[in-house]
Structure formats: C-alpha cells, structure tokens
C-alpha cells in the first residue's frame, strides 16, 4: 500500500505540468473511450449484477449498481461537461498590495492526492476520476465490493487513455487492497494522501471519520425533508413530493420524510395517498396522519432512517416552525424543501434550516453536481468545511499565496 501511494504522490508532479488544454483533450479522449468500450463495461457490470442478485442486494443498491448503454453514455457526457468547465487551477482568486509594497496574489491550486471511498455506483469511478484529473489532483479510488468488476473495467479504460498520452496510470487508480483492512491503512496514510472523501452509508462515514488521520470531507446520509405549507399550491406540492420520493428512491437526495402543515392536512393527505399508492410507496405516518389516511405507524427511529427505498414517512406539523423543529432534530444537513407561496414563510425556512441545500418550491432531487451546472460531482458534502453541498471542481482545489517583492525586509 505504501509503495502504491508513494507512486501516486510522485505522479502528481507530472499532472501539475499539464496545461488546461492538454487536460481537456485527454478528458475528451476518455469520454470517447467509454463509449467505444461500452460492450466490455456492460459485460463486467453483468457479472456484478448477477453476484448482487445472489447476495440479495436491495432493489435500491441494484439500481445504483446497474449499467446500460444509456448510463454509460451519460458517464461519457459527464466527462465532456467536465472538460468544458473553466480551468480551476492557477486562477487568481484575490490580490492586493500591502503597506510594505508587497504584491500578494491568492491563487487556486490542486489539493494533491485524494482518496475517495464509495459504494455501489460505478459511474462514481469515472465522474470522480475526471473531476480530479481536471483539477490536477491524483485520485485513489476504493469502490464497493459489489461493483468491483465494473469499477475495474472503467478504471482500465481511463488508464489506457493515460497510457496512450505517456502519462502514469497511477494518476487514476483503484487501491490494490480493497478489504476493510486496506481502507484502514489508506485513511491513515497522511504522508501520501491529502484528503479522504467517504460517500456511502452511515457506518462507513462513522468509521472513516473516527479513524482517519488524513483530512476528511464527509458525504453523509441524505435525511431529506419536504415541508408543504398551508399556503402551497396543492397541485405543485403533490407533484414535487412525488418527484422527490419516487423518481429515484435509492439516491441520497431523495426525500425520506414529508412534513405537512396541520392547517391543510385533512385536505392534502388523501390526495397525496392516492398518488403515492399509484407509485406503490410504503407510507408511514404519525398518529395525526393515521387519523386522516391509512398508513403504517412512524416512530422516531423511522424519522432518523435513510431508507434509500420507496418508503416515506409523513408527519403533520404545526406550521413552518413545527417543520423547522422537526428538521433540526432529525435532519442530516443535506437537502430540505419548503412548498409555499408565502415569501415570509419561505424566508423563515431558508434562514433557519442549516443544511447544505435549502429549496423553495422545488424537489430535493436537484441536489446534484450536474443539475447545479458543475458537470458532475465527487459527492454531496454535509461538512461545513472545506466544501459543502454538491462538491464539484471548486471543492477539489485549495489555494496558496504568491508574494512578489523588490528587496523588502522586516
């Protein structure tokens, strides 16, 4: 492991010599290579899917694991969008002249070697590799065991492009020891690794956060909420709620709990029940919800659960303040939405909720690097430092100060 990471660290110096134009050319070649090798990628993914069925993975995990021609093409498109982004490295972020006539520039630079630990989704391999390459960072990837064949196939395609351009394959690599012990070693290699980004279940995040000596940016669970206010447009509220839960339940920006203003609960809950029943959503609710529609009972443990399945909690609350109190207690700092036509209620919600992304009259499903115009994302950071929300190109850079003098001493 140490030799592997030392090679990764050394290769970062080569990456730093590439111009933005050179990096973009290689990224476009990577995108094309994914399309050309679609058949091989799908064959590798089919092995993972078969093993997933044998191991009885949940439907949500199977959906995240699955690749088809459309998803591979989307992976290639994401790399093309990353190539089209403005160069993130070498930008002068600020500049000034001091009283001592020193000219100071604050300039963006790559972080260095970034270790990314993730589960299930093979597209994370290509997305994160491309984002790191664009921002002149070396990436060391640790995907989930359930996607091992898919990840190896994708990494090989990208590494082959590096090789054709006389660049080290270690710029984009999977860690050689993918066991739990391998992860334990990786997160303590602060001599070679500059940042660890874990994205996955609560157990993974907790383990990495508690044991890493390398700096960590957490991509924690998506305990997302939508609150329907008494001043919401009913049709809009129902459409947004259905989208937030049903469109793709197995992702971190899907809604897990729907909060409904007591003032309109008896009117809107039966309508919501009809639509969620059409989508075969398993509904759980508080006692007040159960007095209006037939649903299972929701406990505090349910409100604190990221289902990543077509299961939804519903709770009736006392206006916007009740919604805020619930989210403060059970939220994970990911994404929350208020549906209302009242600007005062909207602003109260926006200002009181301390989550990475807070919406008015829109689905939490938009918390995504692509939807935000970032091209792709490393993940959704629930940290407050160093990055927050969809973590794209900007989140993969830091800065240094360049100071120009003319003989000054102090």
What's the pLDDT at 392?
84
Could you give the count of Cα atoms lying within 13 Å of 202 in the half-sphere of its Cβ? 9
Which residues are CB-contacts of 155 (< 8 A; sequence separation ≥ 6)? 125, 129, 141, 172, 173, 174
Residue 58's pLDDT band (cuts 50, 70, 90)? confident
User: Tens of pLDDT along 89-119?
Assistant: 999 999 999 999 999 999 999 999 999 998 8
- Enter the tokens of residue 255: 């809604």
Mean pLDDT, range 314-334, rounded to an integer: 97
Q: Strand 397-404 and strand 103-110: pairing?
A: antiparallel
Asked whether residue 108 falls in the same domain as residue 40, the answer is yes
Report helix, strand or coil for 24: helix
DSSP-assigned letter for residue 401: E
Q: Which CATH number characterizes residue 32's domain?
A: 3.40.605.10
Asked whether residue 181 falls in the same domain as residue 43, the answer is yes
Q: Which CATH number characterizes residue 353's domain?
A: 3.40.309.10
Could you give the count of Cα atoms lying within 13 Å of 252 in the half-sphere of its Cβ? 28
What's the pLDDT at 387?
85
Asked whether residue 178 falls in the same domain as residue 237, the answer is no
Tokens 């094309």: give the residue.
32
What's the pLDDT at 136?
97
Cβ neighbours around 93 below 10 Å, total: 10
Tokens 């995907």: give the residue.
143
User: Roughly what angle, to the nearest 10 degrees, separates helices 148-164 and 20-36?
Assistant: 130
What's the pLDDT at 181?
85
User: DSSP assignment of 102-142, as one string?
Assistant: -EEEEEEEE--EEEEEE-S-THHHHHHHHHHHHTT-EEEEE
Q: What is the spatial distance between Cα 66 and Cα 74, in angstroms, rounded to a whole number?
A: 13
Instruction: Judge whether 57 lies within some domain.
Output: yes
User: Tens of pLDDT along 173-221?
Assistant: 999 887 888 899 999 999 999 999 998 777 888 899 999 999 999 887 8
Instruction: Judge whether 410 lies within some domain.
Output: no
Asked whether residue 215 falls in the same domain as residue 228, the answer is no
Expressed as residue numbers, the domain containing 316 is 224-366
Split into its structural domains, the chain has a count of: 2
- Enter the tokens of residue 241: 């709620």
Q: Do the Cβ atoms of 214 and 191 come closer than 8 Å?
A: no
Asked whether residue 299 falls in the same domain as residue 270, the answer is yes
Asked whether residue 80 falls in the same domain as residue 43, the answer is yes
- Enter the tokens of residue 368: 């995504």
Asked whether residue 321 falls in the same domain as residue 185, the answer is no
Q: What is the spatial distance between Cα 189 and Cα 158, in angstroms, rounded to a whole number?
A: 25
Instruction: Judge whether 191 lies within some domain.
Output: yes
Asked whether residue 98 falls in the same domain as residue 229, the answer is no
What's the pLDDT at 150?
97
Asked whether residue 136 falls in the same domain as residue 252, the answer is no
User: Roughly what angle, to the nearest 10 degrees, separates helices 20-36 and 123-134?
Assistant: 160
Asked whether residue 150 falls in the same domain as residue 189, the answer is yes
Burial class (CB in 10 A: 0-12, 13-18, 19+), 163: exposed
Asked whether residue 280 falls in the same domain as residue 174, the answer is no
What's the pLDDT at 223?
93
Q: What is the spatial distance between Cα 363 and Cα 275, in angstroms, rounded to a whole number?
A: 16
User: Per-residue pLDDT for 399 more than 80?
Assistant: yes
Asked whether residue 143 falls in the same domain as residue 186, the answer is yes
What's the pLDDT at 358?
98
Residue 13's pLDDT band (cuts 50, 70, 90)? very high
């Amino acid at each position: 492991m140490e030799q592997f990471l030392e090679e990764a660290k050394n290769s970062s110096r080569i990456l730093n010599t590439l111009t933005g134009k050179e990096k973009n050319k290689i990224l476009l070649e990577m995108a094309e290579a994914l399309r050309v090798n679609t058949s091989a990628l799908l064959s590798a993914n089919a092995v993972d899917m078969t093993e997933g069925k044998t191991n009885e993975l949940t439907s949500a995990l199977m959906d995240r694991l699955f690749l088809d021609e459309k998803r591979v093409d989307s992976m290639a498109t994401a790399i093309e969008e990353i190539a089209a982004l403005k160069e993130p490295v070498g930008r002068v972020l600020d500049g000034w002249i001091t009283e001592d006539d020193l000219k100071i520039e604050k300039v963006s630079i790559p972080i260095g070697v970034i270790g990314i630990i993730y589960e299930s989704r093979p597209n994370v391999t290509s997305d994160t590799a491309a984002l790191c390459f664009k921002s002149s960072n070396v990436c060391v990837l640790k995907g989930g065991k359930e996607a091992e064949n898919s990840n190896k196939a994708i990494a090989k395609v990208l590494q082959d492009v590096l090789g054709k351009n006389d660049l080290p394959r270690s710029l984009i690599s999977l860690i050689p020891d993918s066991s739990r012990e391998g992860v334990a070693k990786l997160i303590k290699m602060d001599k070679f690794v500059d940042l660890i980004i874990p994205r996955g279940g609560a157990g993974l995040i907790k383990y990495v956060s508690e044991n890493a000596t390398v700096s960590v940016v957490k991509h924690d669970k998506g305990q997302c909420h939508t609150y329907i206010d008494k001043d919401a447009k009913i049709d809009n509220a129902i459409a947004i709620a259905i989208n937030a839960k049903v469109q793709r339940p197995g992702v971190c920006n899907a809604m897990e709990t729907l909060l409904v203003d007591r003032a309109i609960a008896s009117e809107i809950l039966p309508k919501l029940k009809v639509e969620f029943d059409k989508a075969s959503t398993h509904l759980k609710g508080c006692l007040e919800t159960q007095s209006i529609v037939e649903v299972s009972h929701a406990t505090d443990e349910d409100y604190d659960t990221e289902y990543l399945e077509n299961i939804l909690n519903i709770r009736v609350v006392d206006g916007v303040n009740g919604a805020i109190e619930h989210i403060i207690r059970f939220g994970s700092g990911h994404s929350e939405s208020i549906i209302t036509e009242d600007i005062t209620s909207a602003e109260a919600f926006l200002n009181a909720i301390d989550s990475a992304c807070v919406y008015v009259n829109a689905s939490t499903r938009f918390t995504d690097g692509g939807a935000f115009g970032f091209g792709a994302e490393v993940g959704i950071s629930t940290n407050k430092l160093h990055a927050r929300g969809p973590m794209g190109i900007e989140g993969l850079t830091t800065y240094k100060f360049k100071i120009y003098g003319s003989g000054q001493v102090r």
